[in-house]
Amino acid sequence: MGSFREAVEARDADALAGLLADDVVFTSPVAFKPHHGKAVTAAILRAVLRVFEDFRYVGEYTSADDREHVLRFRATVSGREIEGCDLLHFDDTGRIDALTVIVRPLSGLQALADAMNAQFDRVHQEAAAE
């Protein structure tokens, strides 16, 4: 199984979905409640691949037990520069069971929220189809 970083950098949505645990919890920087489950998380990640421009990872940190990973990134969304972190937790089988995204600055977060809100009908349709 490849890494989350490799899958994102390759823009490989199928590989990303393959890394997720069935009961993964996705915590978004723009939603109050977390999303639960592989289908909706995979659909959200596909939407993210559509809205992030010039995406690149700029740092990576791993816990001593290799179950926690922090990936720092930079990107552009609707002309706004953003930076953020993907916080990953891996379960006993090596699948991602928790994914939290943090984004700054506020103007970039607002651009991301607008871009993702425009994707959410499609996200729900894709999640329901899985």
pLDDT tens by residue, 104-121: 999 999 999 999 988 878
pTM of the model as a whole: 0.90
CA 53 centroid distance within chain: 14
pLDDT at residue number 70: 97
Q: State yes or no: pLDDT of 2 exceeds 70.
A: no
The answer to whether the CB of 99 falls within 8 A of the CB of 27 is yes
Contacts with 123 (C-beta within 8 Å, 6 or more apart), sequence order:
40, 43, 44, 46, 47
**Cα gap 3→82, rounded to integer Å:** 23
The answer to whether the CB of 127 falls within 8 A of the CB of 40 is yes
- CA geometry: angle at 15 spanning 70 and 33, to 5°? 55
pLDDT at residue number 104: 96
